[in-house]
Amino acid sequence: MFRHHRLRICLCVLAIASTDLGASEAESAPEAPVVPAERPALPSRSESMATELARQLPSTEVIRLQASGEAFMALWRPANVAVPKGLVILLPGEGESADWPRGIGPLRRNLPDHGWHTL
């Protein structure tokens, strides 16, 4: 029991000493203003999707377009016939990519077989 009592006294003395040291250091050192570190801006979700698609698809399908001073990625597939019927522009819905597996992706891949360019 005597041993535990000594240990408690030592811990109390250390706690008081460290509190006093911390107070004297705070008094002697001027406080520097805290400046939050600036984080680089994260890419938007659409930019992330475009980058991922460009990485996955053949480079012949990925093209860069520009409108109103803003550049963006588009996916191009030419028609698989000698005389194409025309061009179909496919627009993904909100939160979907240009190769979304339900709807736009299958259309983009299958319309060229039926004579249509897709963008």
DSSP 59-76: TTTEEEEEETTEEEEEE-
Q: Please list, in sequence order, all residues whose beta carbon lies within 8 angstroms of the beta carbon of residue 64, skipping any fewer than 6 positions away.
A: 71, 72, 73, 74
Calculate the average pLDDT of the chain. 79
* pTM exceeds 0.75, yes or no: no
Residue linked to tokens 């194409």: 84
Least confident range of 1-15, 37-51, 58-72, 86-100: 1-15
Digit-coded pLDDT (tens) for 33-61: 777 778 888 777 778 878 888 898 898 99
Report pLDDT for 9: 57
Tokens of 78: 């030419």
Confidence of residue 27 (pLDDT cuts 50, 70, 90): low
Domain ranges of the chain: 45-118
Q: Are 77 and 108 in contact (CB under 8 A)?
A: yes
CA distances 109 to 40, 49, 63, 68, 95, Å, are 37, 18, 16, 28, 20
Contact 53, 108 (CB under 8 A): no
Confidence check: pLDDT of 25 > 90: no
